[in-house]
Chain A
Amino acid sequence: MTGLDRVLLTSAAVLCPLAEDLAGFADALLAGRRGASPLTGFGLADWTARHLPDDPDAAARLRKVVWRAATPAQTAACVAVEAVTSANVQLGERSGLIVAGGNLALAHQARTALDFDSSPGGLRASYALTHMDVDVVGAVSELTGIRGEGWVLGGGSASGTLAVVQAARMLAAGWLDHCLVVAPLAELSAAEIEAFRRTGAMSPTGECRPFDVARQGFVYGQAAAAVLLERASVADKRGATALAEIAGYGQCLDAKRGTEPDSAGQVTAMRAALRVAGVEASAVDYVNAHGTGSVLGDETEARSISTVFGPRSSLRVNSTKPLVGHCLSAAGLIELIATVAQANAGACHPNPNLDTPLDPELALVGRSAEAHPIRTALSNSFAFGGINASVLVRAA
């Protein structure tokens, strides 16, 4: 990115069934703990009590702003506050906010519509706000003081990665000093879950087995995540410690509606990320695949990765989805954080359900964690609608 400022990732926060802090998340991943499930038991009051015990004013503000918001906005507010607090940075007019996802509060919408049908008098005025994705923009900006620019970026299962791409572009171009990227928990109602099941894309066994010959589909997971990205010159000036650098990014469309992946688009996105970073494929140590565990999706991505990297024993290919599930629009962000966590640990987390790899030439991480130096890593997200996105991360 000659002539442009470098983009650093200086803070990250997660909220998922495996963990609700970064260190716990890294430990759970490396231990291969399985948390591909809904986030049950989340409560705003409990979360603030656990995370902000020494700052009662911040805890009260968080509760006040999103007390009656839908779960996506509540979880987004929590991870946003956590990321900004741990970054210890003042955000304002030179700071931006991108909320990743679209149709975030589907369960809330379905519940409200059913209640309205049976009891119209009880419909709350606040539903005018809580049904909208942009409610998250309002809530998070109020809690973080971000005043630059902010919006919702929808790209299906690639939303989290696309949001990081857009944030990195704005920072590299000098439009902003900081950009907070937040992926709220993406909730589905029973109807969407059943529709996904009927497409055949969802695992009937509830087991996610990316790149295994016996894979049967994805498992729905729930997570919220946030990262703070900063221009390197700004981060250096305030003495911030980087967790990683966002060194490259690529995105493209297949120009094709539907659910089927296209290897050509995936290859284009990955190669674009390498090109932007000025990195040869041979320099990449690790690929965090989209790897949902779907029959066609994994086969296609395996072929795409082989096309870009060839057979290389020093590469490791992995999927975080057996551990966190497919978190839909939050997948790209939670998996970027998983990639950074593995790079900083110098190890790959297990792919615990892998018995028989679909492609013996693909350098997949197996059922155990593995020490592996990661200086340069790629994180992929591919969405329905032919949306391909890939981010290249350089270890700090």
Chain B
Amino acid sequence: MTEQEIFDVVRRHLAEVLPDLDTARVQPDVSMRELGANSIDRMDLVIGVQDELGITVPNHELTSVHNLRSLVAAIQAHV
């Protein structure tokens, strides 16, 4: 999967988790927290993406995630 394809999956899951999401704000440099996702929302998003892609990203690889770009990179290492 390309980075863009993974980014599109993440964007779709963000829209499910967050009501009234301004999709224009969903950019690689923005963080989930900045988009309004609390800690449970962020966990749910990661679980949803992993489940859809059939992968498991170890928790310690997610601790360094600080924006959508680094989240996509962490996921891409396992697809």
Contact = CB atoms under 8 A, between A and B. Distances in A.
Interface of A: 44-45, 60, 63-64, 67-68, 119, 121-126, 128-129
Given A64-B36, A129-B40, A124 B19 contact: no
A44 B19 CA distance: 10
A64 B20 contact: yes
B51 A126 contact: no
A63 B36 CA distance: 12
A119 B47 CA distance: 12
B51 A121 contact: yes
B1 interface: no
Which 7 A-B residue pairings sit nearest by Cβ, starting from the closest? Answer: A125-B43, A63-B19, A122-B51, A67-B19, A124-B44, A121-B51, A126-B40
B48 A124 contact: yes
Given A124-B47, A126-B44, 9 more contacts: A45-B19, A60-B20, A63-B19, A63-B20, A122-B47, A124-B44, A124-B48, A125-B40, A128-B40
Interface in B26-62: 36, 40-41, 43-44, 47-48, 50-51, 56
B18 interface: yes
Interface string B5-24: 00000000000011110000
Contacts of A44: 19
Contacts of B17: 67-68
A95 B9 CA distance: 44
5 contacts: A63-B19, A124-B44, A124-B47, A125-B40, A126-B41
Nearest to B20: A60
B27 to A, nearest CB: 21
Interface of B: 17-20, 36, 40-41, 43-44, 47-48, 50-51, 56
Nearest to A122: B51
A123 B20 contact: no
Contacts of A128: 40
Given A64-B19, A67-B18, A67-B19, A122 B40 contact: no
A129 B43 CA distance: 13
B19 A125 contact: no
Contacts of A67: 17-19
Contacts of B44: 68, 124-126
B78 to A, nearest CB: 13
A90 to B, nearest CB: 26
Among B19, B41, B43, B47, chain A packs the most CB atoms within 10 A around the CB of B19
A125 B56 CA distance: 15
Please indicate which of the listed interface residues A119, A122, A129 has the most CB atoms of chain B within 10 Å of its own CB. A122
A207 to B, nearest CB: 39
Contacts of B36: 64
Contacts of A121: 47, 50-51, 56
Contacts of B48: 122, 124
A60 to B, nearest CB: 6
A202 B55 CA distance: 46
A128 B47 CA distance: 14
Contacts of B56: 121
B19 A123 contact: no
Nearest to A60: B20
A65 to B, nearest CB: 10
A13 to B, nearest CB: 21
Nearest to B55: A121
Contacts of A119: 51
Contacts of B47: 121-125
Nearest to A128: B40
